[in-house]
Amino acid sequence: MDSPRRRNNRLVRAQNTKKILMLVKDHEPVSLETLVRKSSLTYPTVLGIIKQLESDSHVERLAYAPTTGGRQAVLYGISGISRYVLGLHINTETISISITNLRDGKIFQATEPMHFQGLSTPELARSLVGLIGGILSKTRLENTSFVRVCITHRDGTSLDIRGIGSALETFLSIPVKILPDRIALNYLERQSYHISSLSTYMFVLFEEELSLTTYRGFDERLDRLPSTHFGHMTMVIGGATCVCSQRGCLCSYVNGEGLLKFYLDAGGEDQGVDGESSDLFHRLLAASYRGDRAAVIAIDRAIEVLAVALANVIKIEGVATIVLSGIFNSTDVRYKMQLEQTVANYLPKGFLEKPQIILGTTTPNDSAFSACLMMSADYFESLRFD
Ligand SMILES: [Zn+2]
């Protein structure tokens, strides 16, 4: 039996090891001197920990610092070999595969056509496993090279993602995490330039469906996940049917049957635009800018619906910075300005902040890569050295 004191020492050592590893991750390439300064630990302690991390292949020597006379300092970084992360994005027509090392370096990235429709789950799992096997031999990785595996998918997918996941688990002998795209893409967006300086904002993503997420004052270490999430919500009683099967759902008025109904109700000509078309929003937006009366009315009404929803969330959450992403792109400036003004109209007079909208970007295929980043972060968070 360990004495309490020895147990305590071991615990402190484990915490210090984790601390040094995270410092290497955040500051690589980093010298021992910098680690000593940032950790407030002694030089011999840091040296001992680095040696242990090196022999466990968590950390490796990346380079030598430029000489300033005397000995050259070794620069350490996270080991880029032997541990990998696999991220997949699966939908009915394509599969995107991303493999990164633990330094978030892309080892492999591809989107392949897959004809999933009509296949049974075992058939589907077999073709997926075959595909992954091919990639493994191409990239010279083993089944056991992965420390984390994640499958992302759109909300409400008709595919049996859990079934596919467990087949993959058997093949790779590792638990497979399953996440909806919106969570993976939100994570990516939060890592990206557009919003990296924000700590409190509402993230509105429309990839194939709409999602609203509020982030507030997060601590990167402790809280990587959204604090509040809003999915589909009914805005128009008895309105058009949404993909979520609710009637009058917000989602369908941004880009879907609801928006199309507004257009047709305003006397718009159905020129091959249909509710299923993923670019209905931009086609109507462009038509409205060209002066199509019905399109102007439809877009105005759709903006009203979204603005009411956003104003309600702002009133509840007190967060008035909004990041628009997905179908909204950085050129939708006029739409953004109109939405900002309309949201302001629905807020009480003298509301603490004027709403501010930022335009961001992501694509669905980024989901697989984003899953890798999330899984890599998850791996580091889960490491214990006691
Ligand atoms: Zn809906």
* pLDDT (tens digit per residue) in 145-186: 899 999 999 877 888 999 999 999 999 999 999 998 878 877
| Interval between CA 231 and ligand 1 midpoint (Å) | 8
Question: Considering the domain boundaries, does residue 328 fall inside one?
Answer: yes
| Interval between CA 247 and ligand 1 midpoint (Å) | 8
Asked whether residue 150 falls in the same domain as residue 88, the answer is yes
Beta bridge partners of 112: 95
Name residue, tokens 């999915």.
231
Asked whether residue 254 falls in the same domain as residue 297, the answer is yes
Asked whether residue 277 falls in the same domain as residue 159, the answer is no
Which of 175, 113, 81, 85 is CA-nearest to residue 368?
85
Asked whether residue 261 falls in the same domain as residue 277, the answer is yes
Asked whether residue 354 falls in the same domain as residue 372, the answer is no
| Interval between CA 194 and ligand 1 midpoint (Å) | 27
pLDDT in the model for residue 36 = 96
Question: Considering the domain boundaries, does residue 171 fall inside one?
Answer: yes
Residues in the chain: 386
| Interval between CA 205 and ligand 1 midpoint (Å) | 14
Question: Considering the domain boundaries, does residue 290 fall inside one?
Answer: yes
Total domains, the chain: 3
Question: Considering the domain boundaries, does residue 64 fall inside one?
Answer: yes
Instruction: Check: CB of residue 322 under 8 Å from CB of residue 344.
Output: no
- Can you read off the two tokens belonging to residue 145? 């090279």
CATH number for 329 = 3.30.420.40
pLDDT in the model for residue 237 = 87
Beta bridge partners of 106: 100
| Interval between CA 283 and ligand 1 midpoint (Å) | 21
Asked whether residue 117 falls in the same domain as residue 170, the answer is yes
**Residues bordering ligand 1, an ion, CB closer than 5 Å:** 232, 242, 244, 246, 249, 251
Rounded Cα distance between 142 and 145, Å, is 5
Asked whether residue 170 falls in the same domain as residue 231, the answer is no
| Interval between CA 241 and ligand 1 midpoint (Å) | 8
Asked whether residue 377 falls in the same domain as residue 318, the answer is no
| Interval between CA 320 and ligand 1 midpoint (Å) | 23
**Confidence check: pLDDT of 371 > 70:** yes
Give the chain's mean pLDDT. 84
Query: Is the bond leading into 44 cis (omega within 30 degrees of zero)?
Result: no
**Of 56, 78, 100, which one is at a domain's C-terminal end?**
78
Instruction: Check: CB of residue 64 under 8 Å from CB of residue 75.
Output: yes
Asked whether residue 74 falls in the same domain as residue 139, the answer is no
Rounded Cα distance between 314 and 322, Å, is 9
Instruction: Check: CB of residue 311 under 8 Å from CB of residue 357.
Output: no
- List helix spans (H) across 28-104: 32-39, 43-55
Query: Is the bond leading into 29 cis (omega within 30 degrees of zero)?
Result: yes
Q: pTM of the prediction?
A: 0.60
Asked whether residue 353 falls in the same domain as residue 375, the answer is no
Asked whether residue 116 falls in the same domain as residue 65, the answer is no
Among the listed ranges 62-71, 75-84, 314-323, 329-338, which one has the minimum average pLDDT value? 62-71
| Interval between CA 250 and ligand 1 midpoint (Å) | 6
| Interval between CA 240 and ligand 1 midpoint (Å) | 10
pLDDT in the model for residue 221 = 45
| Interval between CA 113 and ligand 1 midpoint (Å) | 28
| Interval between CA 233 and ligand 1 midpoint (Å) | 6
Asked whether residue 260 falls in the same domain as residue 210, the answer is yes
* Helix, strand, or coil (residue 55): helix
**First vs last C-alpha separation in the chain:** 16
Question: Considering the domain boundaries, does residue 91 fall inside one?
Answer: yes
Which of 63, 108, 64 is CA-nearest to residue 85?
108
pLDDT category at 137 given cuts 50, 70, 90 is very high
**Domain membership of residue 306 as a residue range:** 193-359
| Interval between CA 134 and ligand 1 midpoint (Å) | 38
